[in-house]
Amino acid sequence: MPRTRKTPAGKTSKTKLSPSDATLDQKLEKLPTGVSRQKYLQKLDSLLPPEDLPDRAYGDLKKKGYIALYRLLYSIRGTEDRLTRLYRQGKIVGGVYLSKGTEAISVGAGYALDRSQGDMLFPMHRDLGAHIAFGQTIERIYCQYMGRSGSPTMGRDGNTHFSDMDRGIIGMISHLGSMLPVAVGAAIGLRNQGKNAVTLNFIGDGGASIGDFHEGLNFAAVANAPFVLVIENNQYAYSTPIVAQYGAERIIDRAIGYGIQGEVVDGNNIYEVYETVRNAVNRAREGGGPTMIEAVSMRMRGHSEHDDHFYVPKELLEAWAQRDPLLRAQRFLAKQGFLTQAEIEILEKQVDAEIEQAIVNADASPLPDPISLNNSVFAS
Amino acid sequence: MPRTRKTPAGKTSKTKLSPSDATLDQKLEKLPTGVSRQKYLQKLDSLLPPEDLPDRAYGDLKKKGYIALYRLLYSIRGTEDRLTRLYRQGKIVGGVYLSKGTEAISVGAGYALDRSQGDMLFPMHRDLGAHIAFGQTIERIYCQYMGRSGSPTMGRDGNTHFSDMDRGIIGMISHLGSMLPVAVGAAIGLRNQGKNAVTLNFIGDGGASIGDFHEGLNFAAVANAPFVLVIENNQYAYSTPIVAQYGAERIIDRAIGYGIQGEVVDGNNIYEVYETVRNAVNRAREGGGPTMIEAVSMRMRGHSEHDDHFYVPKELLEAWAQRDPLLRAQRFLAKQGFLTQAEIEILEKQVDAEIEQAIVNADASPLPDPISLNNSVFAS
Amino acid sequence: MPIMTYIQAISDGMREEMRRDPKVMVMGEDVGVYGGAFKVTKGFIDEFGADRVYDTPLSESAIMGCGLGMAITGLRPIVEFQFADFITSGFNQVVNNAGTMFFRTGNNVSAPVTIRCPSGAGVHGGPFHSQSPEAWFVHTPGLKVVAPSTPYDAKGLMISAIRDNNPVLYFEHKFLYRRVKEEVPEGLFTVPIGKAEVKMAGDDISVIAYGASVHLALDAAERLAEEGISVEVLDLRSLYPFDKEAIVETVKKTGRVLVAHEAWLTGGVGGEYASFIAEECFEMLDAPIKRLGSRDMPFPFAPQLEDKMVLNSETVYRALKDLAQY
Amino acid sequence: MPIMTYIQAISDGMREEMRRDPKVMVMGEDVGVYGGAFKVTKGFIDEFGADRVYDTPLSESAIMGCGLGMAITGLRPIVEFQFADFITSGFNQVVNNAGTMFFRTGNNVSAPVTIRCPSGAGVHGGPFHSQSPEAWFVHTPGLKVVAPSTPYDAKGLMISAIRDNNPVLYFEHKFLYRRVKEEVPEGLFTVPIGKAEVKMAGDDISVIAYGASVHLALDAAERLAEEGISVEVLDLRSLYPFDKEAIVETVKKTGRVLVAHEAWLTGGVGGEYASFIAEECFEMLDAPIKRLGSRDMPFPFAPQLEDKMVLNSETVYRALKDLAQY
Ligand SMILES: Cc1ncc(C[n+]2csc(CCOP(=O)(O)OP(=O)(O)O)c2C)c(N)n1
Ligand SMILES: Cc1ncc(C[n+]2csc(CCOP(=O)(O)OP(=O)(O)O)c2C)c(N)n1
Ligand SMILES: [Mg+2]
Ligand SMILES: [Mg+2]
């Protein structure tokens, strides 16, 4: 089986961050013995993608697909922006963990699955985009965040932790990495029942350090399971930078150690994400086994909306802001002649209206009735 | 940091096992969907080492060292052979898990540490050889297996599960892989207290699948810990062949994914094991970070002495019997002129006598007094 | 009716249900070609094939997690931990992932996984092959827990566990494997989860026990019968949900109760049943409720030590005698 | 004396002991630059440096395992699980590795690790950020377990936990973090592990509680005082070892007992204490021992649901009233 390590995403980009950057250096002072600051600074450069999307065709995408993906991207950005607003208004229960800046990963990957084939999605906490791409309604998402009875969990679990078996979505538990073996087992289970389906799970640069990552991928590799793992490397796990999280050059360097396919993808290029995941999904469906994909991006907000992000060097955020996945996709669509600026504005207005309506509807969803807790623990 | 993958141990050996071997093929019939028999059969060949030890100098070994290592090798073989006898006589408590055929790994690795520097050993269940090489007495080992009060655990734990802090040995719990993070923590702890010590842990081809393997190595890599992991690939985990255990070509292919040094070593060549581990220990001591070493060998007995080994193809055992680490070392010593056949016999007689005496002594050690259980749970 | 040992009955229950329902499968380390560390699944791979008798890598968390994944796609896996002691390595998957699945999905997804836990001491297994960790799971919502003491119950509860649409932990006691046998019906039958059974009727004192401790209680009861003391032995069989009516009934009858288990005393499930009795049967009690368990320490390896640490029938006998004389 | 919140007292205890003993260190996710998810270690990295305030990868089993490894080399690590709920991911290292170290090495190696577990509900954390899993550890030999309810106890028990030569699980309740404050001495002092404290003296009924439930009990006791019912509130503080004398004393005094905790009722530590009382204080009891806990289900997310699932002071009040009227 081939095991490639693709060219790092930023190979062609102009260097934006350098070891001589004093502010950046200062932030990295407090690392325990043995953690290499130098190695980190070199790494940061190589992770940065070019400012524009490579001007080419992406996989099996047609004009409709390019536009649909942009629409989803805009939807999730809008949905999340309003989550912040609602959070500040006190309308949200619990914390809010946003995908700002990394939405292209979850949307592109979610879109690459095929619900009609029985594919299943196992999203993580920063993957609202995948829920939407996989058919979840924005209204139900807001219900979930507001703890309403109209939410898929009936108000029992929060934020992005929600399943929807009708759509083939299994929500996560908080324990990062725990869903990886579950997704692998589902892939094998579907195959053993004669289905031709693929399962997809996400994990972060932090979650990738947990034991289940290893156990699950090893299990998948041995079974040649129809499984795809997307690693969202957004460079931070809560406040922990990747230099204190893993020692390898890239997370994807682990692929050869499992004997599976590994790919690096520019996580701020929604079309490349889609293309890469789509290829992996197709390969898995044809019996080609699991793939792990490292999508490189940058978390543009704090870990949650109550975290002010002070530990992230501003330079890093500025450099990545110029590579915002929406801006890049917009420029690409315009350049390709798929959508004019005017058409983009119309699309966005439509989506905005949809979102506002979803909020109104969700806010009208009743609070959950405590009676619903009776007989809620065991299936009969 | 360099990350090499050395030539597989058997690269130069004549092919001994081939996919056309019908008996072998038959044993591999019952594999779940997705597990590749073909891949396995190819793998088996490449794991087999040449019949003779490469005729060269090994690291910093002098004549005395070559002989000392052989003596330890013979000691452990003799100690274990008698364990089987004692087990059949009903003198052993619990099961007996032998290292027959793979002793060169534990002895060679244990010998490569330096107790005077404060190095610490974290052996696994098939590493009696490492205990001996690290200064444990054969008498105490027999006490341990017979559950006597003279054992390091005072009869509280069995077989190879024993610590001896005075010698810098921390015994394992049964849960495979659990000691890996402990050994990594000890390495960091010693460094943070200004010591220049290295810790070494063993793990099997089976144990390497557990989450702690990943969490521990990742932790070590990030911290650049003075830590060495020796993976004893004896091709079976209980009854499970490596094809059903991991998907990669070699376990050591994981090294690049941690960003640490990786080495493959012929596990039936005690001098190569010593040399490789010694280099890794020296590098770790000098701040060069962790190394993982895959020592390839073959478990020549059942998982334990109550397992008849029926699931291992005879061809495999026959091919490996010709590569027995003792026979190969003997031939090497003779060829180098380090020991004549007559000298070897004298050495072996001495060791035999020591072992018999140790058994007598251990058998005279009292059964543990149940009173010793009082106040045994909490340190004051 | 054939005579079966406890371990044969476990195998038989699994085999029969696998024959009936093609969705049922087994997974774990060495369950396939080897037939399991205790040979419970010996021959299964020949009958059901390698996909239904699934040999896994050595990774308890993945075994449990993958089992859960298979379950949500419609299969009914029997997940085997090679020893109950190793469930700690897959603990999070059991308690947080499997245990909450039905609840947290708004009752949308269920998790029909049977979790086999070969447990118990008396086999010189030392600290990590002798544990009886059922209390952790009785405390965790979303999990059912059973612990048979006889071949009949072992088979019937196995079939019930497999058919249950929830995660069921099945604690089988290694010491009983080949030491107890009885007539067990061929084919399919069930023992309901949540129902206790009086294994010996008596009037003076009740012992509430499960698993191997039932046999300690029966031994002690026989000795006491000779001394004219009549002991009722209630075998809980299900630890959660547990049979509150049966407990109340036996306490009502005797007014004196001993709760006994091999698990560590402190924080053991005995505390649950004893305090249930203390609360619900206060007026019925003629003597303090007595609890017994093994001593609060790791299970020692040497037989001389293990004997003094693990609950035994002598201890049960003496506790009952004390109760009788209260 | 300065006024400290509960969370400040935790920080202060750690800081003072770290100043005194250079072997003491902290490790966990985001404990360094960020100062911990709850800011308990804010500023620590500046004072003690990155090697003593050790930011780890996201890997609970390695955090606990490495902490244990550091401990056996002579350091005294304070290991932080970001939320108590995540201890399940390092469970095996806690119960089987740390818990048995001293015993299994023939008392040759000890494991002085303090394990911080921010636990408890009431903060809308949902099923995986609200748990109180102390019962699992009270049942496991080799582990000590403490759970302070006040700033004074929080600081004093923290220092005792760090100085103890065994693994000590320190359950701190998130709901109390900024909600309780009191005068707490500066500098070093200890609260002994294993000693309970009467937080309110009374004559008619005893409540045995710990952590947040102590405050529920105090609230209920105040209401009942107005109705002329005098309640004694015994704060266990240490769950294992626990203060048997103090329990017997309060039961002797009042003859009526409620055991209350926020953890799930079934299999909770309340069962241990209640059945201890049932066995040891049988003749002193004037009413059945009553137990309260949260409902046996995952902690729900929506506040309306959580309120009906988690133990609250109204429930405690009503249970006490019932007991008074028995
Ligand atoms: C097993 C586990 N440990 C700790 C946490 C607490 N926690 C929640 S999110 C987070 C950081 C996750 O980082 P990463 O995986 O990179 O995902 P990101 O938030 O960056 O998308 C941590 C430590 C958790 N959820 N699970
Ligand atoms: C976590 C865990 N799971 C299961 C077991 C049961 N078990 C003991 S040894 C063994 C096989 C180990 O294989 P390997 O790691 O290759 O070591 P080897 O015995 O071949 O030396 C198994 C499954 C265990 N000890 N620990
Ligand atoms: Mg991240
Ligand atoms: Mg092996």
Cβ contacts of residue D222 below 8 Å, gap of 6+?
none
How far, in Å, is the centroid of ligand 2 from the Cα of C13? Answer: 27
Confirm or reject: Cβ of D86 under 6 Å from ligand 1: yes
Q: What is the pLDDT of residue B36?
A: 79
B272-288: pLDDT as tens digits? 999 999 999 999 999 99
Neighbours of D87 (CB within 10 A): 28
Among A151, A193, A219, whose Cβ lies nearest the Cβ of C62?
A219
Atom of ligand 1 at shortest range from CA of A210: 1
Q: What is the pLDDT of residue D249?
A: 98
Which of A160, A161, A166, A182 would best serve as a mutation to test chain C binding (most C beta carbons within 10 A)? A182
| Overall average pLDDT of the B187-207 stretch | 98
The Cα D162–Cα D74 span in angstroms is: 13
How far D179 CA sits from the closest chain B CA (Å)?
35
Among A32, A158, A175, whose Cβ lies nearest the Cβ of D55?
A32
- How far is it between the farthest Cα atoms of chain D? 59
- B30/C33 touch (CB, cutoff 8 Å), yes or no: yes
B219-248: pLDDT as tens digits? 999 999 999 999 999 999 999 999 999 999
- A222/B188 touch (CB, cutoff 8 Å), yes or no: no
A61-80: pLDDT as tens digits? 999 999 999 999 999 999 99
Contact call for residues B304 and C82 (beta carbons, < 8 A)? no
At B22, the pLDDT band (50, 70, 90 cuts) reads low
Neighbours of D208 (CB within 10 A): 31
What 3-state DSSP class applies to C196?
coil
Residue C37 Cα distances to A68, C17, C80, C83, C115, angstroms? 54, 21, 10, 9, 16
What 3-state DSSP class applies to D14?
helix
Amino acid present at C140: T
Local structure of residue A8 (DSSP, 8 states): P
Q: How many residues does chain C have?
A: 326
- Residue C124 annotated in active site: no
- Nearest residue to B28 (alpha-carbon basis) of D244, A67, D151, C55: C55
| Overall average pLDDT of the A140-154 stretch | 93
At B23, the pLDDT band (50, 70, 90 cuts) reads low
Contact call for residues C106 and D302 (beta carbons, < 8 A)? no
What 3-state DSSP class applies to D256?
coil
The pTM (predicted TM-score) of the whole model is 0.97
How far, in Å, is the centroid of ligand 2 from the Cα of B238? Answer: 6
A289 to chain B: which residues are within 8 Å by CB?
34
User: What is the separation of C-alpha D309 from the centre of its chain, rounded to a whole number of angstroms?
Assistant: 20
The Cα C221–Cα C230 span in angstroms is: 7
In our burial notation (b when 16+ CB lie closer than 10 A, e otherwise), range B126-141 reads bbbbbbbbbebbbbbb
At C147, the pLDDT band (50, 70, 90 cuts) reads very high
pLDDT beyond 80 at B4: no
C70 lies within 8 A of chain A by CB? yes
pLDDT beyond 60 at B12: no
Q: What is the pLDDT of residue B17?
A: 64
Residue percentage of chain A with pLDDT more than 70: 93
- Measured CA angle at C287 (ends C282, C292), to 5 deg: 100
Helix residue spans in chain A (DSSP H): 22-27, 37-47, 63-88, 103-111, 128-133, 138-145, 179-192, 211-223, 255-258, 270-285, 314-321, 325-336, 341-364
B20 lies within 8 A of chain A by CB? no
How far, in Å, is the centroid of ligand 1 from the Cα of C109? Answer: 25
How far B187 CA sits from the closest chain D CA (Å)?
8
D144 lies within 8 A of chain B by CB? yes
Ligand 1, atom 17, residue with closest C-alpha: A204
- Nearest residue to C265 (alpha-carbon basis) of C304, C213, C219, C228: C213
Amino acid present at C51: D
Structure tokens at B50: 């040449």
pLDDT beyond 80 at B14: no
Residue percentage of chain D with pLDDT more than 90: 100
User: At how many degrees (to 10) do helices D151-163 and D6-20 cross?
Assistant: 30
How far B6 CA sits from the closest chain A CA (Å)?
15
Neighbours of A271 (CB within 10 A): 26
| Overall average pLDDT of the C73-92 stretch | 98
pLDDT beyond 90 at B325: yes
Radius of gyration for the alpha carbons in chain C, expressed in angstroms and rounded:
19
The Cα B145–Cα B139 span in angstroms is: 10
- D301/A93 touch (CB, cutoff 8 Å), yes or no: yes
Cβ-based contacts under 8 A for chains C and D: 137
User: What is the separation of C-alpha B326 from the centre of its chain, rounded to a whole number of angstroms?
Assistant: 15
Structure tokens at A44: 């940061």
Q: Which of C124, C129, C139, C215 is catalytic?
A: C129
Strand stretches in C100-256, DSSP E? 114-119, 144-146, 168-173, 181-183, 197-200, 205-209, 231-235, 238-240
Residue percentage of chain B with pLDDT more than 90: 84
Confirm or reject: Cβ of D88 under 6 Å from ligand 1: no
The Cα A48–Cα A313 span in angstroms is: 14
Cβ-based contacts under 8 A for chains B and C: 126
The Cα B83–Cα B86 span in angstroms is: 5
The Cα B67–Cα B109 span in angstroms is: 16
Choosing from B201, B205, B234, B238 the residue with most ligand 2 atoms within 8 A of its CB, the one to mutate for a pocket test is: B238
The Cα A220–Cα A209 span in angstroms is: 17
Among D68, D142, D144, whose Cβ lies nearest the Cβ of B182?
D68
pLDDT averaged over every residue in chain C: 97
Residue percentage of chain D with pLDDT more than 70: 100
The Cα B16–Cα B10 span in angstroms is: 11
Q: Facing residues of A120 across strands?
A: A199
| Overall average pLDDT of the A18-47 stretch | 75
Cβ contacts of residue B177 below 8 Å, gap of 6+?
B203, B207, B208, B210, B211, B212, B213, B216
Amino acid present at D49: G
Cβ contacts of residue B228 below 8 Å, gap of 6+?
B109, B198, B199, B200, B201, B277, B280, B281, B284, B290, B291, B292, B293
The Cα D211–Cα D284 span in angstroms is: 26
- D270/C275 touch (CB, cutoff 8 Å), yes or no: yes
How far C198 CA sits from the closest chain B CA (Å)?
35
Confirm or reject: Cβ of A266 under 6 Å from ligand 1: no
Atom of ligand 2 at shortest range from CA of B203: 15
What 3-state DSSP class applies to A167?
helix
Give me the domains of chain D, ranges plus CATH numbers.
3-183 (3.40.50.970), 197-324 (3.40.50.920)
Residue B351 Cα distances to B58, B98, B166, B312, B331, angstroms? 25, 19, 24, 32, 19
Structure tokens at C183: 């007539």
Contact call for residues B326 and B77 (beta carbons, < 8 A)? yes
D27-36: pLDDT as tens digits? 999 999 999 9
pLDDT beyond 50 at B7: no
pLDDT beyond 90 at A193: yes
Confirm or reject: Cβ of A174 under 6 Å from ligand 1: yes
| Overall average pLDDT of the B169-176 stretch | 97
Radius of gyration for the alpha carbons in chain A, expressed in angstroms and rounded:
20
At B46, the pLDDT band (50, 70, 90 cuts) reads confident
Q: What is the pLDDT of residue A1?
A: 35
pLDDT beyond 90 at D129: yes
Among B181, B190, B193, whose Cβ lies nearest the Cβ of D66?
B181
- Nearest residue to C103 (alpha-carbon basis) of A379, B106, A113, B190: A379
Local structure of residue A171 (DSSP, 8 states): P
At C21, the pLDDT band (50, 70, 90 cuts) reads very high
**Three-state secondary structure of chain B:** CCCCCCCCCCCCCCCCCCCCCHHHHHHCCCCCCCCCHHHHHHHHHHHCCCCCCCCCCCCCCCHHHHHHHHHHHHHHHHHHHHHHHHHHCCCCCCCCCCCCCCHHHHHHHHHCCCHHHCCEEECCCCCHHHHHHCCCCHHHHHHHHCCCCCCCCCCCCCCCCCCEHHHCECCCCCCCCCHHHHHHHHHHHHHHCCCCCCEEEEEECCHHHCHHHHHHHHHHHHHCCCEEEEEEECCEECCEEHHHCCCCCCHHHHHHHHCCEEEEEECCCHHHHHHHHHHHHHHHHCCCCCEEEEEECCCCCCCCCCCCCCCCCHHHHHHHHCCCHHHHHHHHHHHHCCCCHHHHHHHHHHHHHHHHHHHHHHHHCCCCCHHHHCCCCCCC
D43 lies within 8 A of chain A by CB? no
How far B223 CA sits from the closest chain A CA (Å)?
5
Give the residue numbers of D annotated as catalytic, written as ranges.
Answer: 129
* Nearest chain B residue to C53, by CA: B32
Q: What is the pLDDT of residue D214?
A: 98
Q: Spell out which residues line ligand 2, taking CB within 6 angstroms.
A: B 126, 174-176, 204-207, 210, 232, 234, 236-238, 299, 303; C 29, 58, 60, 82, 86, 89
- B248/A221 touch (CB, cutoff 8 Å), yes or no: yes
DSSP string, A237-300: ETTEEGGGT--SS-GGGGHHHHTSEEEEEETT-HHHHHHHHHHHHHHHHTT---EEEEEE----
| HSE value, Cβ hemisphere, 13 Å, CA-based, for B105 | 33
The ligand minimizing its distance to the Cα of B211 is: 2
Percent helix / strand / coil, chain C, rounded to 5:
40, 20, 40
D264 to chain C: which residues are within 8 Å by CB?
139-141
pLDDT beyond 60 at A344: yes
